[in-house]
Amino acid sequence: MAHTLSTLAYLVASVLFILALKGLSHPSTSRRGNLMGMTGMGIAIVATLAQPGMSIGGIGLIIAGLAIGGTVGAVIANRIQMTALPQLVAAFHSLVGMAAVFVAAAALYAPQSFGIGVPGNIQAQSLIEMSLGLAIGAITFSGSVIAFAKLDGRMSGAPILFKGQHLLNAALGVLLLALVVAFVITGSPVLFWLVALLSFALGFLLIIPIGGADMPVVVSMLNSYSGWAAAGIGFTIGNLLLIVTGALVGASGAILSYIMCKGMNRSILNVLLGGFGAEAGGAVAGGSATHPARPVKSGSPEDAAYIMKNAGKVIIVPGYGMAVAQAQQVVREMADLLKKEGATVEYAIHPVAGRMPGHMNVLLAEANVPYDDVHELEEINPEFVEADVAYVIGANDVTNPAAKTDKASPIYGMPILEVERAKTVFFVKRGMSSGYAGVENELFFRDNTMMLFGDAKKVTQQIVQALQK
């Protein structure tokens, strides 16, 4: 009876989780969705606590763990800066991965709690499921730690490449498979920990060759992995809620990875093999070496302010550089002033702008930009023709017209924001360096482009001051 009740509670929680995702189809329903997710989690926790046979000491430990972890989580969530979201999400993924490893270990040492056998004699099927949960969890953990370190600037975002890298990874993958088979046959704890160790190493090796700007794909992929790890543990302990939720999360991460790859016109394999932008791309592509000193027009913030004051339509194109410079607030101030002057102001977001899916949208929302002003690529591209000004701040490769024309370019075929169609393009940039792909941006040399050299925040502030005069 008690068992039926808890199964029913898990079913309710599963449905609430689905509704939580469903709520995200529009900002107006999203908060209710998040609340449903919280409710579902609350129901799942209470139903588990009420399971028969839980020891008093165990319940004490559980409550202690929930209190400690919950406090830490709440403090972090309230203090984190929105620009640091990608690394926070990566760090959170690593925790799910590690939790999966621990639960797998607990199931190994106390299989009778989950009804899958006795220590030293666990059903083979459960051992297979256990090693799946363990391996995916461990890979999620170490992979996310590396992603976190790269995003947080604790290690260089540049791809780390060495000879025989892919061969090594393949060999380790085969070895991992062999160890899993040996573990399933023997059920030995030593092999269990060897599988864990090797998976940690593999997760680490898989992520180091992937560069900083490919992180949206990596973060989405690790999101997906954390779901599959939860599902693997769900199969091991025969729990419906874990299986359903794991599948939801796994599917979600996979879709996000797909969208990100499509936004760069690259295959997931190409991203995972890594090394993009590591070679001296300039020599191969864009022909920068052949045109060492092409003329570039540059202007002052005051010039830009003068032109924008007379503009009827301005489209702002933010990128990761805006996040780094923390310029979102001052960009919104500029937009407000322009609106007062009678211009329409809109924002164009490329799918891979920033370091995680939807990163720019959150930053603009933080700066109080109404979400109706923010548009996706397909929506906004036809509007650049009518725009008097395109203001590119912190974006680069995603505006490069060479992606449409230059077949030799590494970014050829990538969907771009067609800013070059605007009457005037302002390009805020520190210097003339190439973007992440190592390709020089054709846009810099166009007649209608004016470079605004300097820090994104300072330049925009100076424009705001000039507009206020």
Partner 1 sequence: MNAEELALRAQGMADRAIALALEARAAAAEAAPLVEQGAAAAEPFLLLLTIFLLACFVGYHVVWSVTPALHSPLMGVTNAISSVIVVGAMLATGLADSWLAQAFGFLAVTLAAVNIFGGFLVTRRMLAMFQRKG
For residue 259 the two structure tokens come to 């969208």
Neighbours of 446 (CB within 10 A): 16
CB of 118 vs partner 1, minimal distance in Å:
11
The pattern of x and - marking residues 146 through 185 that bind partner 1 according to CB under 8 A reads ----------------------------------------
Q: Which of 159, 209, 211, 250 binds partner 1 (CB under 8 A)?
A: 250
CB of 228 vs partner 1, minimal distance in Å:
10
Residues in the chain: 469
Residues numbered 96-115 forming contacts with partner 1, rule: CB under 8 A:
96, 98-100, 102-103, 105-110, 112-114
Q: Which of 5, 8, 68, 185 binds partner 1 (CB under 8 A)?
A: 68
Neighbours of 175 (CB within 10 A): 15
158 DSSP 8-state letter: S
* Residue at token pair 């560069």: 211
Binding flag, residue 192, partner 1 (CB under 8 A): no
Task: Return the number of the residue (198 or 229) whose C-beta is nearest partner 1.
Answer: 229
Q: In sequence order, what are the beta bridge partners of 391?
A: 316, 426
Task: Return the number of the residue (158 or 365) whose C-beta is nearest partner 1.
Answer: 365
Task: Return the number of the residue (11 or 172) whose C-beta is nearest partner 1.
Answer: 11
Report CA torsion sign: 257, 30, 74, 99: negative
Q: Which of 5, 8, 64, 408 binds partner 1 (CB under 8 A)?
A: 64
Binding flag, residue 313, partner 1 (CB under 8 A): no
Q: Which of 2, 5, 69, 190 binds partner 1 (CB under 8 A)?
A: 69
Binding flag, residue 311, partner 1 (CB under 8 A): no
Provide the residue type at 91 as one letter: A
Please pick, among 372, 373, 388, 397, the residue that the annotation labels catalytic: 397
Evaluate whether 6 touches 235 at the Cβ level (below 8 Å). Answer: no
Neighbours of 284 (CB within 10 A): 15
Give the pairing type, strands 389-393 and 313-318.
parallel
Q: Is 162 helix (H, G, I), strand (E, B) or coil?
A: coil
Task: Return the number of the residue (52 or 292) whose C-beta is nearest partner 1.
Answer: 52
H helix runs in 238-353, sequence order: 240-264, 268-273, 281-284, 301-309, 320-325, 328-340
Q: Does 447 participate in catalysis according to the annotation?
A: no
CB of 119 vs partner 1, minimal distance in Å:
7
Q: Is 298 helix (H, G, I), strand (E, B) or coil?
A: strand
For residue 218 the two structure tokens come to 């990596």
Evaluate whether 79 touches 117 at the Cβ level (below 8 Å). Answer: no
Binding flag, residue 380, partner 1 (CB under 8 A): no
Q: Which stretch binds partner 1 (CB under 8 A): 301-309, 358-366, 383-391, 455-463?
A: 358-366
Binding flag, residue 247, partner 1 (CB under 8 A): yes
Q: Which of 227, 274, 394, 454 binds partner 1 (CB under 8 A)?
A: 227
Residues numbered 122-141 forming contacts with partner 1, rule: CB under 8 A:
123, 125
Binding flag, residue 187, partner 1 (CB under 8 A): no
By C-alpha distance, which of 380, 383, 392 is closest to 312?
383
Q: Which of 153, 171, 289, 376 binds partner 1 (CB under 8 A)?
A: 376
Residues numbered 1-30 forming contacts with partner 1, rule: CB under 8 A:
10, 13-14, 17-18, 20-22, 24-27, 30
CB of 469 vs partner 1, minimal distance in Å:
24
* C-alpha dist (Å) from residue 245 to 17, 121, 154, 187: 7, 29, 32, 28
Evaluate whether 108 touches 193 at the Cβ level (below 8 Å). Answer: no
CB of 78 vs partner 1, minimal distance in Å:
7
Q: Which stretch binds partner 1 (CB under 8 A): 85-93, 150-158, 159-167, 273-281?
A: 85-93
Q: How far apart are CA 27 and CA 42, in angstroms?
A: 23
Q: Which of 2, 5, 8, 54 binds partner 1 (CB under 8 A)?
A: 54
Q: Which of 192, 200, 235, 426 binds partner 1 (CB under 8 A)?
A: 235
> What's the Rg (C-alpha) of the chain?
25
H or E element at residue 198 = helix 189-207
Task: Return the number of the residue (323 or 389) whose C-beta is nearest partner 1.
Answer: 323
Evaluate whether 192 touches 107 at the Cβ level (below 8 Å). Answer: no
Interface with partner 1: number of residues (CB under 8 A): 123
Q: How far apart are CA 243 and CA 133, in angstroms?
A: 11
Q: Which of 132, 138, 285, 374 binds partner 1 (CB under 8 A)?
A: 374
Residues numbered 397-456 forming contacts with partner 1, rule: CB under 8 A:
none
Q: How far apart are CA 180 and CA 127, in angstroms?
A: 9
CB of 367 vs partner 1, minimal distance in Å:
8
Q: How far apart are CA 92 and CA 60, in angstroms?
A: 25
Q: Is 390 helix (H, G, I), strand (E, B) or coil?
A: strand
Task: Return the number of the residue (78 or 121) whose C-beta is nearest partner 1.
Answer: 78
Provide the residue type at 27 as one letter: P
Task: Return the number of the residue (71 or 186) whose C-beta is nearest partner 1.
Answer: 71
Indicate which residues carry an active-site annotation: 397
